[in-house]
Amino acid sequence: MALIAGVRTNFAPPVPQNYQELGIPESLVLDLVLRRLLLEGFSSLQSLSRSLKISIPIIDTAFRHLRAQQLVEVKGMIGNDYTFILSQAGKNLASDRFQISQYAGAAPVSLKDYAAATRAQTAKITIDRKTLRSAFSDLVVTDRMLDSLGPALISQSSIFLYGPSGNGKTSIAERMLRVYQDAVLIPFAVEVDNQIISLYDPVVHQKLELEDPDIDPRWILCRRPCIVVGGELVPSMLELRLDDASGIYAAPIQMKSNNGIFIIDDFGRQLMSPRDLLNRWIVPLDRRVDYLTLRYGVKFQIPFELMVVFSTNLDPRDLADEAFLRRIHNKILVEPVDPQTFDQIFQRVVSAKRVPHEPDSAEYLRRLCLKDGRDELRACYPLDICNILVSISEYERRPVEMSRTDLERAVDLYFAKSEALPQ
């Protein structure tokens, strides 16, 4: 365990000082330098080092190689640093290389180094009911639910959350990330067979400020990722995607989720059929490895070190066969709430929204929610109905209140009528 910028991590790669330590082909480094020079026009060793996240000794070696090939022209010096541009021959070569790939950012790490780093950063957590209750403190969660979640989270294997909609499955899944008290290093990109796979994604990776000159700058310190997908999940999101214009591959979503959590919300309602998804992942879930393929057929292995959380309101037996369900060791039923839990949720909601209410408002709302043949209380009812009350008060331009009349009106708006519509 190491400390980087005051945050615990299991991986701390030193700054490479030569090609062997860098771990990627020299030809790829030269291409990166050429493309960067084509974009910058006028550059220096320091500028290239900052842009490509490569140490000065390696940049200097690449510069001397290009200078010997008369691909760069020195224009002067600033202190001990050269300033230079591409020669005409250098521009021609850089343009040719730019047609193959437009990547000119941080140097990638090798597939071997990425795999080793991912396995080194596999999550190991120590929790009990007390620490887990703290992590879920903004939800009303029973001890029974905590005692189901605790062992599942410690195992770091996949979890199946199932049960009626509206009882907090997604909220529970999203808060699982709080049990992690460390950070991980994620590379900007990974090199496979001289191809660039862009991995770091600021949309899904939460970057932490890292100021440690002893850490390889090709890696970014991030919180463990938590990625949520719903109905938009399609097969292409689980495979490498090549952008034809730039020649850069985008990492699939499970690769971006490595060392974190991948939540499949509303499982069974995706554009991708459950059977296709389960067939795609039956090996990764079992062996903790996945296989990806470059466009021209080269197949390679990556770690599958993530916790997959399936969340569904459908019957698991209707979604997957026994062979697949056996590979998901933790199946947790998120049940409708009991009256006591419902009232606790109600009190939190009205306090947070500062809604005036009567002592028996929670009980009256429960009775309204169980009318017209409804026989279950859902965790979402208090907040949803309270939001409708606020909207009613705004519509009528009066202070929000929770009278019986307003509660009846809000409940009437919230629940669909069971009678058949006229033909």
pLDDT in tens, 256-293: 999 999 999 988 887 788 888 888 888 898 899 999 99
Q: How many residues can be counted in the chain?
A: 423
Q: Are 36 and 51 in contact (CB under 8 A)?
A: yes
3-state secondary structure 90-132: HHHHHHHHHHHCCCCCCCCEEHHHHHHHHHHCCCCCCCCHHHH
Q: Which pLDDT score, from 0 to 100, does residue 89 have?
A: 95
Q: Are 139 and 171 in contact (CB under 8 A)?
A: yes
Q: How much helix, strand and coil, in percent to the nearest 5, is found in the chain?
A: 40, 20, 40
Q: Which pLDDT score, from 0 to 100, does residue 305 have?
A: 95
Q: Which pLDDT score, from 0 to 100, does residue 418 have?
A: 61
Q: Which pLDDT score, from 0 to 100, does residue 20 have?
A: 95
Return the H-helix or E-strand segment holding 394: helix 381-395
Q: Which pLDDT score, from 0 to 100, does residue 419 have?
A: 58
Q: Which pLDDT score, from 0 to 100, does residue 278 have?
A: 81
All residue ranges of the chain with pLDDT < 70 are: 1-8, 418-423
Q: Which pLDDT score, from 0 to 100, does residue 317 have?
A: 79
Domains and CATH numbers, the chain: 25-105 (1.10.10.10), 117-333 (3.40.50.300), 339-414 (1.10.8)
- Whole-structure pTM value: 0.88
